[in-house]
Amino acid sequence: MANIKSQKKRIITNEKSRMRNRAVKSELKTATRRMKDAVAAGNGAEAYAAACAACRLMDKAASKGVIHKNQAANRKSGIMALANTVATDADRAAYVKPAKKEQKTGSKKAERKAARLAEMKAASEEKAKRREKQPPLRSARPRKPKRPPRPRLPKAPRKLPPNNDPCAYGTRPAIRPHIKSEGAPEIRGSFALEGCYPERKPRIVPAVILSWRSACIFDDNLKR
């Protein structure tokens, strides 16, 4: 079984074409047999009418591609030659072509759409009639006008810490390189915490502070 989508579709279309071709060829054989039966019975008028019908079917099959146009011409020639052996000039003159079938204009979809539009139009007309019979509605009270929006008060200016120092209130410690305080031994590679508590002198912390949270922890330990 095919795995490609286009090939699967091609298999389906080929099967449809095969069944169509089979039906058309069967119809051609049936028309030819009717003509041969009329010739065998010696009925010239019936044989000529059957031959004309078979020729019409041959032309239709050739136009649809079921049989080749040369094959259709050869078979038509043989059919008419066989029918003329029995048919006379009177039979040919008395032959009347069958009336053409009335071709339907439009499609089922267009018919359904037209019917749907007609139903909608009828429903709208009925609705208009019912609306005319109803008493008029009382006028609604006028709506109150909307109040204007209240003016917003300006925001108070932000208070700055004394001397514009953001570390004055202990919000963020200032991590600075080694600052030697009075009486503290010099430690290479250490950092000092300054600014959290302005009243205290900076102290030496012999550790590397990785984040703000660790700085707070170290500072709390120093206070204790």
Q: Which of 60, 76, 94 is the last residue of a domain?
A: 94
Task: Look up the CATH number of the domain holding residue 62.
Answer: 1.20.58.110
Compare 212 and 18 and report the one with higher pLDDT.
18
> Cα–Cα distances in Å, from 135 out to 128, 131, 221?
13, 8, 87
Question: What residues pair up with 176 in beta bridges, in sequence order?
Answer: 192
Domain assignment of residue 10, yes or no: yes
Domain assignment of residue 156, yes or no: no
Q: Which of 5-19, 24-38, 59-73, 170-184 has the lowest mean pLDDT?
A: 170-184
| pLDDT class of 38 with cuts at 50, 70, 90 | very high
| pLDDT class of 18 with cuts at 50, 70, 90 | very high
User: pLDDT tens digits, residue range 166-216?
Assistant: 555 554 444 444 444 454 444 444 444 444 444 444 454 444 444 444 444
Domain assignment of residue 86, yes or no: yes
Domain assignment of residue 203, yes or no: yes
Q: Which of 94, 129, 144 is the last residue of a domain?
A: 94
The number of folded domains in the chain is 2
User: pLDDT tens digits, residue range 145-171?
Assistant: 888 888 887 777 766 656 655 555 554
Instruction: Specify whether the CB–CB gap between 161 and 168 falls below 8 A.
Output: yes
Helix axes 5-41, 69-83, angle to 10 degrees: 10
Q: Which residues of 70-80 are buried (b: 16+ CB within 10 A; e: fewer)?
A: eebeebbeebb
Domain assignment of residue 183, yes or no: yes
* pTM (predicted TM-score): 0.46
Domain assignment of residue 16, yes or no: yes
Q: Which of 43, 78, 94 is the last residue of a domain?
A: 94
Domain that holds residue 201: 166-223
> Per the structure block, which two tokens stand in for 135?
């008493």
